[in-house]
Amino acid sequence: MRLLITGGAGSLGTNIIEHLGAQCEEILVIDNFVTGKRAALLPAANLRVIEASIADAEVIDELFSGFLPTHVIHSAASYKDPNDWLEDSLTNVVGTCNVVRAAERVKVQRLINFQTALCYGRPSQIPIPITHPTSPFTSYGITKTAGEAFVRASKISNASFRLANVTGPRLAIGPIPTFYKRLKSDESCSVSTTVRDFLDMSDFLSLVVLALKSDAPSGIFNVSTGEGHTIEEIFRVVAKHVGKPNAEPASINPPGPDDVAAVVLDPSETENAFGWKAKIGFAETISRMLSWYDTHGVTDIYSHLQESK
């Protein structure tokens, strides 16, 4: 397998490389390092790293033609600035088109796309079935949903994964690293009343392996445990872990105008299609993540949400 990963320096990409590296003849990572970290990509004889934007069609065509991947994982995404609609569009829509067209030209055997669960907007039912209409309302959600449509319109075998909150090494987005870093620094934490689902990295990786097989199902799939947990619950687990079991949130707030009250995905169709099911429970998932931070710390923290005023 000759594997090309866009956005390969992010949490998902680096974990995939560590998990699959020995099984690949060659791996090519394309990343602009806006949110990914070059230092997270450990040197390997079969790994090549290129700093580039997937929005640059000429560069993407040259890299695909020179590398000739058999498999592509499209993990690149722009979400750092919720107000930067242009950059989100260039990366998440134009960049995705460039990747899909280049993959078609070199006859890639399999393309896996990572999509945000925010594609559903404010869902009318929980857990959210894969048949639920998409209705994104943020720049990140809108542009990623447009990109997914181009993936599905392609002529090559593909699957698009609508992801829960995947937790694992180098996670730099969401409430877990935020609470860990702030509580360790004796800073106050505001908590929202929102509900999310959390998936352990090992369960996510086991599905990626199945999805890369040449005879794997194509289509759109929810990837999650199907269980929802409140952000306040996350806060209390983190507080206890860092030795502050009596800590209280500075405030408990309703969802902001660009947030969603509950995002919990129904993975039943995915479980049936792949014979896959998440095995790691919520408590162990969060414990593994916090133990990783104990050893490696938290550096950058990103969010697709507007900064609260």
Mean pLDDT on 40-68 = 97
Residue 302: the pLDDT is: 67
- What is the rounded CA–CA span in Å between residue 56 and residue 95? 7
- What is the rounded CA–CA span in Å between residue 152 and residue 150? 5
Mean pLDDT on 270-289 = 98
- What is the rounded CA–CA span in Å between residue 298 and residue 160? 29
Query: What CATH number has the domain spanning 2-167+198-223?
Result: 3.40.50.720
Q: Look up the pTM and report it.
A: 0.95
Same fold, 2-167+198-223 and 175-197+226-296: no
Q: Would the pLDDT of 36 be above 70?
A: yes
What does the domain layout of the chain look like in residue ranges? 2-167+198-223, 175-197+226-296
236-259 residue pLDDT tens: 999 999 999 999 999 999 999 989
Q: Would the pLDDT of 97 be above 60?
A: yes
247 near 234, Cβ under 8 Å? no
Mean pLDDT on 86-94 = 98
Residue 309: the pLDDT is: 45
- What is the rounded CA–CA span in Å between residue 255 and residue 277? 30
Mean pLDDT on 150-175 = 96
* CATH superfamily label, 175-197+226-296: UDP-galactose 4-epimerase, domain 1 (3.90.25.10)
186-239 residue pLDDT tens: 999 999 999 999 999 999 999 999 999 989 999 999 999 999 999 999 999 999
Q: Would the pLDDT of 177 be above 60?
A: yes
- What is the rounded CA–CA span in Å between residue 218 and residue 160? 8
pLDDT grade, residue 166 (50/70/90)? very high
Q: Would the pLDDT of 301 be above 90?
A: no
Q: Would the pLDDT of 62 be above 50?
A: yes
Residue 297: the pLDDT is: 94
Residue 304: the pLDDT is: 63
Give the 3-state secondary structure of 8-30.
CCCHHHHHHHHHHHHHCCEEEEE
Q: Would the pLDDT of 306 be above 90?
A: no
96 near 54, Cβ under 8 Å? yes
38 near 9, Cβ under 8 Å? yes
Q: Would the pLDDT of 124 be above 70?
A: yes
Residue 299: the pLDDT is: 78
Q: Would the pLDDT of 303 be above 70?
A: no
In angstroms, the Cα distances linking 160 to 157, 201, 244, 284 are 11, 17, 40, 27
Helices (H), the chain: 11-20, 57-67, 85-89, 96-105, 139-152, 175-184, 201-211, 231-241, 268-274, 282-296
Helices (H), 153-200: 175-184
